[in-house]
Amino acid sequence: MKIAVLIPCYNEELTIKKVITDFKKVLPDAYIYVYDNNSKDNTAAIAKESGAIVVREPRQGKGNVVRSMFKDIDADYYIMVDGDDTYPAEFAKELLKPIINGEADMTIGDRLSNGTYESENKRAFHNFGNKLVKNLIGKLFKNDINDIMTGYRAFNRYFVKTIPVLSSGFEIETEMSIHALDKKFLLKEIPIDYRDRPEGSSSKLNTYKDGLKVIKTILFLFKDYKPLPFFSILALLIFLIGLLVGSPVIIEFVKTHRISKLPSAVLTMGLITSAIMFFVNGLILDTLVKQNNQNYELFLNNYKSTNPVENYTDK
C-alpha cells in the first residue's frame, strides 16, 4: 500500500520543513512529494534536505501544480496538504481511514465545523468568502458540504486518475468539489483543526482577486454541468425584461390597434426571441451533457476493469 503526501509549494521556506517532519512522524512509510512552483526562496532546497521528493512545476498556479501531481504520481492513496503549516498532520490518518475502508473516494478536511478557522484566521473576508462559496454551491448543486475550499484532502487512486483538472489557480479545490458532486463520487467530511500561519509567513491568496476567480469558476461550472437550469434562468430574466419593455406597446395595441412605439416593439421582439434562443440552447446543451455523463460513466467502468489490482469491492 503506497501513500503519497502531495504538498504544492510557493515560497514556504519558513514552514515546509515542519510540515514534512510532522507528516513523516504520522505517516512514516508515506512518500512525501513537494512540487515547487517557481519559489523565489529556499523552499525547494529545504524540502529536499528534509527528505521530500522535490519536483519543479514551471507553470504558475496551484491548479497547474495539482494537475501535474495527479498525472505524475502513482500511489494507492493520496493526501493533499498546503505547505504553510495551517493543517495539522495528526488528522492525516482520520482523513485516510474512510478512503482505505472504501467509504469515500475523497475526504474533505472540514476547518469550519469546530470553529478553529474562524478564531485562528485573521482575515475576515476569508471567512465571509468561505461561507458565500459554501452557500452558493449548496444552492446550485444541492449539497450540504460545509468546507468547499479546504486544501486538506485525501483521495483514492480511482478519483485522482479520473478527474480532469482544468483550473490553473486557487479555484482547484472548488473544481474538485463540484466535479465529485456532479459525478457522484463518494465524499465524506472530517472535522479538523486549523491554525493560522506563523509570524513572517504570508498568504499567497489574494482575497478579492482570487475570490472573484472562485465565483467565476462556480458560475462557469454551473453552466457546464447544469446548462438547462443556467440558461433557463437567463431566458426567464430576459423574457421578463422583454415583457417590461413591451407592456406599453401591448397596452397601446389593445386599445388602438396601432403601434407608435416602434423602437420599443423591436426591442421587445429581440428580447423575447433571445429568451427563446437561450432556452433552446439550454435544452440542446443539457442533452449533450447527459451524453457526456454517459461516456464518462463508461470511462469509469473501463478504468476499473483495466485496473484489477485496485479493490472496489467495498463500494
For 54-84, write each residue's pLDDT tens digit.
999 999 999 999 999 999 999 999 999 999 9
Asked if residue 108 and residue 34 are part of one domain, the reply reads yes
Neighbours of 314 (CB within 10 A): 9
Of 173, 193, 224, the position where a domain reaches its end is 224
Does 250 lie in the same domain as 189?
Answer: no
Q: What is the DSSP string of 215-248?
A: HHHHHHHHHHH-HHHHHHHHHHHHHHHHHHHHHH
Q: What's the domain range around 114? A: 3-224
**The pLDDT of residue 283 is above 60:** yes
Q: Specify the pLDDT at position 294.
A: 94
Q: Which of 187-201, 203-217, 263-277 has the weakest average pLDDT?
A: 203-217
Q: Are residues 69 and 138 in the same domain?
A: yes
Residue 312 inside a domain? The answer is no
Distance CA 282, CA 183 (A): 20
Point out the domain boundary residue: 200, 224, 248: 224
Q: What is the dihedral of CA 79, 83, 88, 94, to 10 degrees?
A: 0
- Binned at pLDDT 50, 70 and 90, residue 169 comes out as confident
Alpha carbons 268 and 291: distance in angstroms, whole number: 35
Residues 79, 151 share a domain? yes
Are residue 93 and residue 241 in the same domain, yes or no? no
Claim to verify: residue 47 and residue 107 sit in the same structural domain: yes
User: Does a structural domain hold residue 313?
Assistant: no
Global pTM reads 0.82
Task: Tell how strand 53-56 and strand 106-110 pair up.
Answer: unpaired
Q: How many domains does the chain have?
A: 2
Answer whether residue 165 is part of any domain.
yes
Whether 86 and 133 map to the same domain: the answer is yes
Q: Hey, which bits of the chain come out as E strands?
A: 3-9, 31-36, 53-56, 77-80, 106-110, 153-156, 187-191
Residues 206 and 298 in one domain: no
